[in-house]
């Protein structure tokens, strides 16, 4: 089996599994309990918070555990205007955001919050001139993804923050880092951002746990009220087994981040070289500035959905696009937004690698793709 759909989710790594089992067996206490079982769980929770704060370059008190990136994103977008009522009721975002952002923005329209979209350059990156014009209509909230889940396009967050400082210094920045945490270097302080959202299951941690970074100088109104866990930012007994699993996966990802990035770059190049050696005709849809973990590619005259099913029969798993979007057949809105032609969009697939993908995997996948493509 060759799994190349890591942008939708990843398997749970051994280190995370071990911590999950350990938590189920030995740390089952409620971290809010006063007795020793509570204390044991509380101490472990503190260690997990430390791991996440190290990975994000922030303080432990700036880390809030949630159930997923979607919850973190919802918390920021819905909570921001309640805590900062004097901000213009505007969210500045882009049309290539994940639905967790776009649908929350749609919902917020009812509450009188307008969404403004920054357009893209022809190579799929945020258009800076337009961003500057729109920043002048704020202060409010800027919410952008770090890495696009369909194409891997990278947004230069430091640059966004410096434009914010110049043209709209009172605005706040929220980053959707679901596809970059544990894959690209992130330092919330150096990036100059106020909020960040991500999920554990994209970096070989378990599902059911996410993170929300809230800068100590920023605030947020919680989505969930109750027992006051997570410094009252997110009530509900913490999902300790999954949080411990998340932090174990994060530790592995963070300690070898640069090494993995280099290796995954090589894996992507090996895959493309193997396609060329096999005389497979393709066009790369991912922009030049993109994460090597995500490759969006069109195979000439090949229907993407059919290709996905042919490969599945050979136990190779790729995707026609985001598994968690409600994208209609052949209508990948990100590629449409980039202005690609219909044929090219209909033949586009997303191949996404992980730190565990091997050269042998991608060489074999390329050979099987060659045979599949010959059938069209």
Tell me whether residue 68 is one of the annotated catalytic residues. no
CB of 56 to ligand PLP, least distance (A): 16
Q: Which stretch binds ligand PLP (CB under 6 A): 20-28, 176-184, 252-260, 291-299?
A: 176-184
The answer to whether residues 63 and 243 touch, using CB atoms and an 8 Å cutoff, is no
- Cβ atoms < 10 Å from Cβ of 343: 12
Size of the site for ligand PLP (CB under 6 A): 14
142 neighbors 116 (Cβ within 8 angstroms): no
Distance separating alpha carbons of residues 203 and 191, to the nearest angstrom: 21
CA distance 148 to 81: 25
Closer to ligand PLP by Cβ: residue 115 or 274: 115
Output the CA angle 174-177-183, nearest 5 degrees: 150
Residue in 64, 69, 193, 345 binding ligand PLP, rule: CB under 6 A: 69
Kindly tell me which residue out of 176, 238, 346, 361 binds ligand PLP, with binding defined by CB under 6 A: 176
Taking CB under 6 A as the binding criterion, the range among 20-28, 64-72, 296-304, 336-344 that sits at the site for ligand PLP is 64-72
Q: What are phi and psi of 203, to 5 degrees?
A: -125, 35
User: Which residues have C-beta within 8 Å of that of residue 220, sequence separation ≥ 6?
Assistant: 75, 76, 79, 80, 83, 195, 212, 214, 233
By CB under 6 A, name the one of 49, 78, 98, 268 that touches ligand PLP. 98
Among 56, 145, 214, 242, binds ligand PLP (CB under 6 A): 145
Give the tokens for residue 136: 């002048």
If binding is defined by CB under 6 A, does position 118 make contact with ligand PLP? no
Catalytic residue among 105, 127, 242, 324: 324
Binding site for ligand PLP (CB under 6 A): 68-70, 98, 100, 145, 149, 176, 178-179, 199, 201, 322, 324
Q: Report, as residue numbers or ranges, the catalytic residues.
A: 324
């Amino acid at each position: 089996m060759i799994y190349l759909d890591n942008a939708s989710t990843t398997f749970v790594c051994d280190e995370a599994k071990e911590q999950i089992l350990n938590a189920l067996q030995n740390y089952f206490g409620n971290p809010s309990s006063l007795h020793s079982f509570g204390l044991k769980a509380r101490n472990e929770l503190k260690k997990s918070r430390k791991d996440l704060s190290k990975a994000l370059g922030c303080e432990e008190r700036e880390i809030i555990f949630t159930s997923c990136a979607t919850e973190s994103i919802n918390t920021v977008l819905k909570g921001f205007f309640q805590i900062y009522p004097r901000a213009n009721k505007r969210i500045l975002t882009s049309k290539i955001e994940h639905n967790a952002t776009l649908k929350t923005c749609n919902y917020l329209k009812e509450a009188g919050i307008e969404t403004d979209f920054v357009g893209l350059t022809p190579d799929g990156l945020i258009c800076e001139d337009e961003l500057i014009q729109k920043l002048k209509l704020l202060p409010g909230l800027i919410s952008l993804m770090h890495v696009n889940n369909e194409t891997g396009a990278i947004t230069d967050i430091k640059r966004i923050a410096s434009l914010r400082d110049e043209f709209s210094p009172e605005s706040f920045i929220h980053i959707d880092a679901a596809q970059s945490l544990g894959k690209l270097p992130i330092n919330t302080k150096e990036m100059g951002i106020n909020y960040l959202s991500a999920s554990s299951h994209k970096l070989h941690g378990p599902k059911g746990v996410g993170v929300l970074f809230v800068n100590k100088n920023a605030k947020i109104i919680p989505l969930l009220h109750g027992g006051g866990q997570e410094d009252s930012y997110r009530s509900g007994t913490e999902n300790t087994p999954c949080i411990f699993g998340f932090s174990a996966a994060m530790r592995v990802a963070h300690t070898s981040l640069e090494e993995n990035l280099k290796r995954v770059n090589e894996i992507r190049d090996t895959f493309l070289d193997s396609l060329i050696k096999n005389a497979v005709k393709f066009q790369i849809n991912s922009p030049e500035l993109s994460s090597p973990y995500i490759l969006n590619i069109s195979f000439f005259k090949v229907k993407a959905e059919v290709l996905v099913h042919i490969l599945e029969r050979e136990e190779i798993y790729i995707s026609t696009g985001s598994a968690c979007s409600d994208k209609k057949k052949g209508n990948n809105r990100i590629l449409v937004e980039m202005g690609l032609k219909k044929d090219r969009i209909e033949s586009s697939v997303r191949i996404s690698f992980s730190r565990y993908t091997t050269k042998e995997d991608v060489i074999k996948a390329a050979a099987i793709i060659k045979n599949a493509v010959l059938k069209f």
